Structure formats: structure tokens, C-alpha cells
Amino acid sequence: MIDGTRVGDQLRTELQVEIRALQAKGVTPGLAAVLVGDNPASATYVRMKGKACDEAGLYHETIRLPPETSEAELLALVDRLNADNKIHGILVQLPLPKQITTQRVLRRVVPGKDVDGFHPENVGKVLLGDPTGFRPATPYGVQQLLLKSGVDTTGKHAVIVGRSTIVGRPMAALLLQDGPGGNATVTVCHSRTRDIKSITRMADILIVAMGKPEFVTGDMIKPGAVVVDVGTNRVDDPSTKKGYRLVGDVNFAEATHVAGAITPVPGGVGPMTITMLLHNTVQAARQWARA
């Protein structure tokens, strides 16, 4: 079992050394989270980010805006945060209401504060392997989870199921790079891939991020493969107190009989995502202090 909670705690402990060093120079890394509307999942995620900042000793602001907020109002807020020296990282929680053009807002965040890694400048830097670019937190978390769990990616065939700009594509870029956690041979599968089972069964490392509950079954996994399940899905379950349970994109019960190592849901990739967001915020503060 690949324990994301344990690895995340280990990385946060290591991060404390740099946070204290920055604070000794009069710089406290600061993160601003912007939440537009009342999406329950987004609100929960933003609250968890705030709690993680408190525990790590980071300055943070959570700015909540009503669902009817206009694009112009949101852009004006982003401009204010861009100019605020207390804030080193800005994240605009997605999804945004339909009256707002998401890409326009994400591109308004200055690249040096884009700790989500969504700005085209950071996307390009990650693709090129430029360490000053911000790697999106989830794929970066997966890479660190593999590294800290002793999974050698060099020369391995990594298959990614899902081609989103948030996980799948940057995950491929990170695994291809020359260095620790890279040097893999990468195949990306998606909704138009033919005979996907024949491809996933070739994977030494199978990373699944497609948002379909328990899509990957045991017979789609190569015996002994490392399986990383990025998905988090609610499925109805009247037998539970809440009326639902969380499952990943992999059928965990079947996969455990085949895989050599696997991440659980919850407790796998999720804790790593928030940890790497903290890491990116500290990186932003360090680069700001050097500028």
C-alpha cells in the first residue's frame, strides 16, 4: 500500500526547514485562495488548504465571492492580489460560474504567483523541465509519491489514463524528464483510445485520472504493476451513514489481487496534492525573495 498521508507528512516536515529560513529573512510565504460561488466540494477543498497553511505556518487568505460575481470583478481581485507583496501564491478554485471565462482569469494571474501551474508560461516551463516553473500539484504529488515510495521510474513503461491539462498531460511531461522521477517511456490513453485494456496491461506504472468510478478493473492491470489512482468519486451507498462512499477510478478490491503496489482512495494522492501546493507556495516566496 502506497500511503500518501505518510509521505505527505514527511514532505511537509522537510518543508519546515525552508519555511523557517525564509521567515528568518522576514518572508512568510503567503497563499490566497479565491472561491466564487458555493460549490460544496470546492469549499471543502479550500478549507483543507487553509488548514494546511495554518499547520505549516504560512500566511493565507480565503476570499469568497458570490456566484453572480462578474468576470470584471474577479479580474480586478486577481490584479489586487498580483500586486500584494504578502501574497506569493494565488489559486482560483475551479470550476468558475458560467459567466466567467476560466482561461482569461487563469492567464491574469502573474506566472510568478501561479502556484496551480495553469498559466501558459508555467505549462511551457514544465514541458521544458525548467525548475523555476510551477508543476501542477496533483501530478507533482504523484511523482513525489513514487519517488518517496521507492518506485524507480527509469526505463519503466508508464501508462496514463486521462489527458486533462490538470493531471494527464503534465504528468506525462514530468515522467519524461531526465532526472529523478522521470526517464520513463510514457503512453497516454484517453476516451478515443482503441482497446485500452491491451495498453493498460503493458504498464509497469499505471496512473489513472479520468473521473470514472472504478473504471479500471483487475483484468486491465499487469501483474505486479504499480497502480496510482488519482480519481475521487462519490457513489451512492445507502448502507453508510452519509449515504455515499468515496471510490477511485480503479476497482480497488480487484486491483489489490493483481498490483504489486497501489494507492488507496482516500489517503493516496489526495494528501499529496495539498502538500505540493504548499511546496509551490514556498517556491514562489523563495523566487520572489531572490528577484
Quote the pLDDT of residue 61.
Answer: 96
Considering 93, 143, 144, 283, which one is annotated as catalytic?
Answer: 93
Report the sign of the C-alpha dihedral through residues 74, 77, 78, 79, in that order.
positive
Instruction: Decide if pLDDT at 21 tops 90.
Output: yes
Considering 9, 10, 23, 49, which one is annotated as catalytic?
Answer: 49
For this structure, is 116 an active site residue?
A: yes
For this structure, is 93 an active site residue?
A: yes
CATH architecture of the domain with range 137-270: 3-Layer(aba) Sandwich (3.40)
Quote the pLDDT of residue 44.
Answer: 86
Average pLDDT, the chain: 96
CATH class, range 26-111: alpha beta
- The predicted model gives 260-274 an average pLDDT of 96
CB-based burial of residue 130 (10 Å sphere; 0-12 exposed, 13-18 middle, 19+ buried)?
exposed
Instruction: Decide if pLDDT at 103 tops 80.
Output: yes
Instruction: Decide if pLDDT at 291 tops 80.
Output: no
Confidence of residue 19 (pLDDT cuts 50, 70, 90): very high
Quote the pLDDT of residue 43.
Answer: 87
Quote the pLDDT of residue 41.
Answer: 82
- The predicted model gives 186-206 an average pLDDT of 97
Instruction: Decide if pLDDT at 34 tops 90.
Output: yes
Cα 23 to Cα 12, 47, 172, 192, 238: the distances in Å are: 16, 24, 35, 49, 49
Considering 113, 114, 116, 125, which one is annotated as catalytic?
Answer: 116
Instruction: Decide if pLDDT at 251 tops 80.
Output: yes
Give the number of other CB atoms < 10 A from CB of residue 145. 25
For this structure, is 86 an active site residue?
A: no
Instruction: Decide if pLDDT at 42 tops 90.
Output: no
Domains 26-111 and 137-270 share a fold: yes
Confidence of residue 38 (pLDDT cuts 50, 70, 90): confident
Q: At what angle do helices 137-148 and 168-176 cross, to 10 degrees?
A: 40
Confidence of residue 234 (pLDDT cuts 50, 70, 90): confident
Lowest mean per-residue pLDDT among 144-153, 239-248, 249-258:
239-248
pLDDT tens-digit readout, 200-230: 999 999 999 999 999 999 999 999 999 999 9
Domain boundaries, the chain: 26-111, 137-270
The answer to whether the predicted template modeling score (pTM) of the entire model surpasses 0.75 is yes
- The predicted model gives 240-251 an average pLDDT of 92
